[in-house]
Amino acid sequence: MNSLKSIAWSEGRLRLLDQRLLPHEVVFIDYVDHNDVAVGIREMVVRGAPAIGAAGAYGLVLAAAASTAGTAHDLQADLDHAAAVLRAARPTAVNLTWAIERVITRAAQAAASGHQAMRAAVLAEAQAIQDEDVRVNRQIGLNAMPLVPDSARILHHCNTGSLATCDYGTALGIIRTAHEQGKRVQVYVDETRPRLQGARLTTWELQQLQIPHTLIVDGAAAHIMRTQGVELCVVGCDRVAANGDTANKIGTYHLALAAAAHGVPFYVAAPTSTIDLSLSTGDNIEIEERPAEEVTHIDGRPIPPEGIMAANPAFDVTPASYITAIITEAGIAYPPYIDSLAKLVGLARTPAASKAR
Amino acid sequence: MNSLKSIAWSEGRLRLLDQRLLPHEVVFIDYVDHNDVAVGIREMVVRGAPAIGAAGAYGLVLAAAASTAGTAHDLQADLDHAAAVLRAARPTAVNLTWAIERVITRAAQAAASGHQAMRAAVLAEAQAIQDEDVRVNRQIGLNAMPLVPDSARILHHCNTGSLATCDYGTALGIIRTAHEQGKRVQVYVDETRPRLQGARLTTWELQQLQIPHTLIVDGAAAHIMRTQGVELCVVGCDRVAANGDTANKIGTYHLALAAAAHGVPFYVAAPTSTIDLSLSTGDNIEIEERPAEEVTHIDGRPIPPEGIMAANPAFDVTPASYITAIITEAGIAYPPYIDSLAKLVGLARTPAASKAR
């Protein structure tokens, strides 16, 4: 597809595609300071759980490079500080925390070899996270194929494609794999208010991939299911609890209810890095409340009169009971998720499974 | 509340408040030609089922005034022609057809007295429709009071207030009545994509009425029900079939599914003029497909890349099984609606019931 990567590392700089301006302007921002990366993540220059994980990891690479520490101990302290800044940028997607912890752990393992070895290790781990993400996405796409019939009409929420990841995509990766395999899929694209990631980003990716699609307002999904028919819904996720409860972009739960009412299978595409076994249920997932202006203003212009209150929960939690299956790179989890997710996460973290993907 | 009426008749002109520009600009458009009124209805200068009914009726007054017919027979022909133009402006809301038929019938009854008497009758009927609408709305509000508890958090879709009617409002009229009676209601306002009637119009009305409210994106409704709690949903309608299936603004059905999943009562505010006993079920209701640009453009600016397909069904049908009750000016209908609606429509059309309201 397009050569526009959401995230690229080159010559000591992290380059992010500014997704706030797509599809009308293609602008890259180069980062050399991890504090700026944290701002970029918060302001959604980069978004999508896997992509912000990788961006956070490269943020630590920048912190390591900028650090004047002359000892492993001092560098570890600088990295810990940077990690706290980056981790705080967005609370809901676990991938950010997960990627940062991976890099910090790798740095600590290299500490015995000195601060220069730590710097090299930090970079190597960030690159590994980026590379693995692409492989993981492709494997999720392949694993999902038994669930996607030919000529499927697929309802998709938010953006989960190349832009939301390091490349290829999770839920959109499934759609893409089906298309590449010759299944004649057709996508109903939820525009995904308030930030319109479906309208701005998913349509743009699908257009380039030449996958047939129709944009709809989020409120039309149930009507489309009732009158046109939809074979499956597939969404990404920002954090999956041990019991399968799934946090994802606001509107996902609303969509899952419509799917349940119509007997439409509802699938979540989840790299195992998004599964948080430390949380027993979705009730423990922190839901980010974003600025009201994202609801009250579009492209900087106000919609309601001045002085209006708006709520802007950026995510919602879909209870596991509404999720037909969770598709990971290590296989497909079915209910009861408390068992199936733990098993797949275990598989993904063994070397054999790594090789398999 | 505000003295800005959606519809006013004065000195041979129909004055419509241009709702496309609210809340940022208050502009009135004066009409002297029924063809222009039809365009105004189609382009949503005026919207809301009761309001377009009244606008259509006054369109016939303009047609009668413009007609050069010198006989009752010729005037009837001119009115029939104008009625066809006006009726075609928007297909889903039955109120337009209902109001036009009322005026045409009244004209025919006056035909024996000559064409000037017909002209007077046409004006009198349009004014009666306008006046009755306000009384009907107030009665709907009063009738609903047993269903609205104190301190109710109410979820509302689209705009059903003063602007959508000749004054006061239907679903918003219920909220308004509860507020006037000292019930401490709080409203979650669905923004209602694509045309954002909730964000633009409902917030504006609630602000002036000083009724506490919070604007949300449509996709957040289920999340709000799950996490904050909502005591009831109340919506308007564009056409109710004999079995209770209800056509209303796109997103209504999606909202009804969320309400059902959370055990939240789902109420439809319906003047009996919106009940179409000639249709056995909602499957027979024509759903208007509006221009794709309403989805792809906001305030004239494109959201997705060029060349994207979008579907824009303006309404959806909520099956009667998801509707807890239908509140009319003649009383509250409960399932099975096939009996209760017929009874209330009968009541509303007898002189005794007219007097009662």
Q: Are A153 and A116 in contact (CB under 8 A)?
A: no
The Cβ-side half-sphere exposure at A208, using a 13 Å CA radius, reads 17
Per-residue pLDDT for B308 more than 60?
yes
SS3 letters across chain A: CCCCCCEEEECCEEEEECCCCCCCCCCEEEECCHHHHHHHHHCCCCCCHHHHHHHHHHHHHHHHHHCCCCCHHHHHHHHHHHHHHHHCCCCCCHHHHHHHHHHHHHHHHHHHHCHHHHHHHHHHHHHHHHHHHHHHHHHHHHHHHHHCCCCCEEEECCCCCHHHCCCCCCHHHHHHHHHHCCCCCEEEEECCCCCCHHHHHHHHHHHHHCCCEEEECHHHHHHHHHHCCCCEEEECCCEEECCCCEEEECCHHHHHHHHHHHCCCEEEECCHHHEECCCCCHHHCCCCECCCHHHHEECCEECCCCCCCECCECEEEECHHHCCEEEECCEEECCCHHHHHHHHHHHHCCHHHHHHC
Parts of chain A with a pLDDT under 50? 1-2, 353-357
- Please list every residue in chain B whose beta carbon sits closer than 8 Å to the beta carbon of residue A312: 216-217
Q: What pLDDT does residue B256 have?
A: 98
Asked whether the bond before B23 is cis by omega within 30 degrees of 0, the reply is yes
- Please list every residue in chain B whose beta carbon sits closer than 8 Å to the beta carbon of residue A200: 303-304
With vertex at residue B343, the alpha carbon angle to CA B340 and CA B346, rounded to the nearest 5 degrees, is 150
Question: If you search the block for the tokens 């006054």, which residue do you land on?
Answer: B58
Nearest CA-CA distance, residue A194 and chain B, Å: 6
- Please list every residue in chain B whose beta carbon sits closer than 8 Å to the beta carbon of residue A305: 23-24, 203-204, 207
- Please list every residue in chain A whose beta carbon sits closer than 8 Å to the beta carbon of residue B246: none
Residue of A nearest to B191 (CA): A295
The residues, ordered by sequence, that sit 6+ positions from B132 with a Cβ below 8 Å of its Cβ are none
Tell if the CB–CB gap between B311 and A224 is shorter than 8 Å.
yes
- Nearest neighbour of A222 by CB, restricted to B200, B254, B311: B254
Average pLDDT, chain B: 96
- Nearest neighbour of B254 by CB, restricted to A213, A258, A298: A258
Q: Are A156 and A40 in contact (CB under 8 A)?
A: no
Q: How confident is the model at residue B357 (pLDDT cuts 50, 70, 90)?
A: very low
Q: How confident is the model at residue B351 (pLDDT cuts 50, 70, 90)?
A: low
Question: What are the tens digits of pLDDT across the range B27-46?
Answer: 999 999 999 999 999 999 99
Mean pLDDT of B211-225: 98
The one-character DSSP state at B118 is H
Q: How confident is the model at residue B349 (pLDDT cuts 50, 70, 90)?
A: confident
Q: What pLDDT does residue A4 have?
A: 83
- Please list every residue in chain A whose beta carbon sits closer than 8 Å to the beta carbon of residue B307: 207
Per-residue pLDDT for B67 more than 80?
yes
- Please list every residue in chain B whose beta carbon sits closer than 8 Å to the beta carbon of residue A217: 193-194, 218, 250-251, 295, 312
Q: What pLDDT does residue B4 have?
A: 83
Nearest CA-CA distance, residue A218 and chain B, Å: 6
Tell if the CB–CB gap between B253 and A226 is shorter than 8 Å.
yes
Q: Give catalytic residue positions of B.
A: 238
Q: What pLDDT does residue A357 have?
A: 38
Please identify which of the residues A78, A167, A190, A238 carries the catalytic annotation: A238
Active site residue A283: no
Tell if the CB–CB gap between B299 and A298 is shorter than 8 Å.
yes
For A89, A114, A182, B213, the CA distances from A229, given in Å and listed in that order, are 39, 61, 21, 35
Tell if the CB–CB gap between B313 and A223 is shorter than 8 Å.
yes
Tell if the CB–CB gap between A217 and B194 is shorter than 8 Å.
yes
Tell if the CB–CB gap between A219 and B295 is shorter than 8 Å.
no
Tell if the CB–CB gap between A223 and B305 is shorter than 8 Å.
no
With vertex at residue A23, the alpha carbon angle to CA A20 and CA A28, rounded to the nearest 5 degrees, is 55
Q: What pLDDT does residue A351 have?
A: 61
Q: What pLDDT does residue A350 have?
A: 80
Q: Are A276 and A242 in contact (CB under 8 A)?
A: yes
Tell if the CB–CB gap between A24 and B302 is shorter than 8 Å.
yes
Cα separation of B38 and B44, whole Å? 10
Q: What pLDDT does residue A269 have?
A: 98
Q: What pLDDT does residue A353 have?
A: 45
Residue A336 has a CB neighbour count (10 Å cut-off) of 11
Burial B136-174 (b: 16+ CB within 10 A, else e): bbbbbbbbbeebbeeebbbbbbbbbbbbbbbbbbbbbbb
* A-to-B residue pairs, Cβ atoms closer than 8 angstroms: 182
Question: What are the tens digits of pLDDT across the range A5-36?
Answer: 999 999 999 999 999 999 999 999 999 999 99
- Nearest neighbour of B309 by CB, restricted to A204, A214, A311: A214
The residues, ordered by sequence, that sit 6+ positions from B210 with a Cβ below 8 Å of its Cβ are none
Per-residue pLDDT for B1 more than 50?
no
Question: What are the tens digits of pLDDT across the range A284-299?
Answer: 999 999 999 999 999 8
